[in-house]
């Protein structure tokens, strides 16, 4: 993985990528996706997450608005995208030029204020807006998350979130930074709760980052099922509710931690609350979690 990321990074450098230069990453879910993100950062650039399933006009807007210097994709995905003047680096069609690069590690000076990534909001209140985060905020987030993991930080972690969702950065890089294993899942399995439960069991997944809707779906499917390897679920992005299905799921899996986190994409300031034992706690504790505000029962990390 590291060698491939180095080769891609060197090709990006040859295309002019360096600190604060933006590279649009538009790839289907595969091993190429996290490797491409790592390659952009190794080259010193900042990645712009572009979902290949977005409407053509949204993709065109994101490429223009972000001023991406390179579009990192595949030939198949590129064929489905709107025409663009952004130079392409296709991981499959341009494989020969990538493989000709050295696999040795790069040394690219990057300042804490240089760009780490740009993620676009949904645009539900108007045009999508790009939230640009520097390395300082992201390193701070990772340091906080690793400390919060505590003992056993190195875990088999499912890569569930879309690259366009900021939690994907936490999934990928907190796992790698702890020496853990990133377990990739395809879209069909990701969207099928029964298949996902079987996948979690078969691949001995120990940690999950899930929005509440996906967590609720998982709990409804595996309400009384044992997932003996699973030891931690981190939920963020939506209001957490202690539903009967959620209570039953955690009661069937004693020792499983539930960490409720929330933070705006624009700042990466996170408030977090580790729920006691399982979501069968008293109602007043659940209400405290719903507020999503830092208080005596929560920790905050600032970007």
In angstroms and rounded to an integer, the radius of gyration of the C-alpha atoms of the chain is 20
Domains (ranges, CATH) in the chain? Answer: 2-128 (3.40.50.980), 136-301 (3.40.50.12780)
What local confidence, expressed as pLDDT, does residue 124 receive? 65
- Residue 90 is given by DSSP the state E
Residue 300 pLDDT greater than 50, yes or no? no
What local confidence, expressed as pLDDT, does residue 147 receive? 93
More confident residue, 274 or 130: 130
20-45 pLDDT per residue, tens: 999 999 999 999 999 999 999 999 99
The answer to whether 208 and 232 have CB atoms below 8 angstroms apart is yes
- Residue 239 is given by DSSP the state -
What local confidence, expressed as pLDDT, does residue 266 receive? 75
What pTM value is reported for the model? 0.88
CA angle 245, 247, 252 (to 5 degrees): 95
What local confidence, expressed as pLDDT, does residue 125 receive? 63
Burial degree of 220 (CB within 10 A; 0-12, 13-18, 19+): middle
Reading the block at residue 270, the tokens are 């996170």
Q: Kindly provide the b/e burial profile for residues 162-183, where b requires at least 16 CB atoms within 10 angstroms of the residue's own CB.
A: ebbbbbbbbbbbbbbbbebbbb
């Amino acid at each position: 993985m590291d060698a491939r990321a180095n080769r891609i990074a060197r090709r990006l450098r040859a295309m002019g990528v360096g600190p604060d230069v933006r590279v649009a990453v538009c790839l289907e879910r595969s091993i190429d996706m996290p490797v491409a993100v790592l390659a952009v950062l190794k080259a010193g650039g900042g990645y712009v997450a572009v979902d290949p399933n977005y409407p053509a006009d949204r993709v065109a807007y994101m490429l223009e608005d972000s001023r991406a210097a390179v579009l990192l994709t595949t030939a198949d995905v590129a064929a489905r995208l709107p025409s663009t003047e952004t130079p392409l680096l296709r991981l499959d069609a341009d494989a020969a030029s990538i493989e000709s690069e050295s696999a040795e590690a790069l040394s690219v000076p990057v300042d804490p204020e240089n760009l780490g990534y740009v993620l676009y909001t949904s645009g539900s209140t108007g045009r999508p807006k790009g939230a640009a985060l520097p390395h300082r905020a992201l390193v701070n987030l990772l340091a906080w998350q690793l400390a919060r993991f505590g003992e056993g930080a190195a875990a088999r972690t499912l890569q569930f979130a879309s690259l366009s969702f900021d939690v994907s950065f936490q999934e990928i890089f907190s796992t790698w930074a702890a020496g853990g294993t990133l377990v990739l899942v395809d879209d069909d399995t990701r969207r099928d709760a029964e298949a996902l439960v079987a996948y979690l069991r078969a691949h001995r997944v120990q940690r999950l980052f899930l929005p509440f809707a996906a967590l609720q779906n998982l709990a409804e499917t595996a309400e009384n099922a044992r997932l003996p390897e699973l030891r931690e679920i981190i939920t963020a992005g939506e209001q957490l509710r202690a539903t009967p299905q959620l209570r039953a799921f955690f009661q069937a899996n004693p020792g499983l931690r539930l960490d409720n986190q929330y933070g705006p994409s624009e700042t990466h300031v996170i408030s977090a609350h580790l729920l006691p034992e399982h979501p069968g706690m008293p109602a007043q504790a659940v209400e405290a979690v719903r507020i999503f505000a830092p208080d005596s029962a929560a920790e905050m990390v600032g970007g």
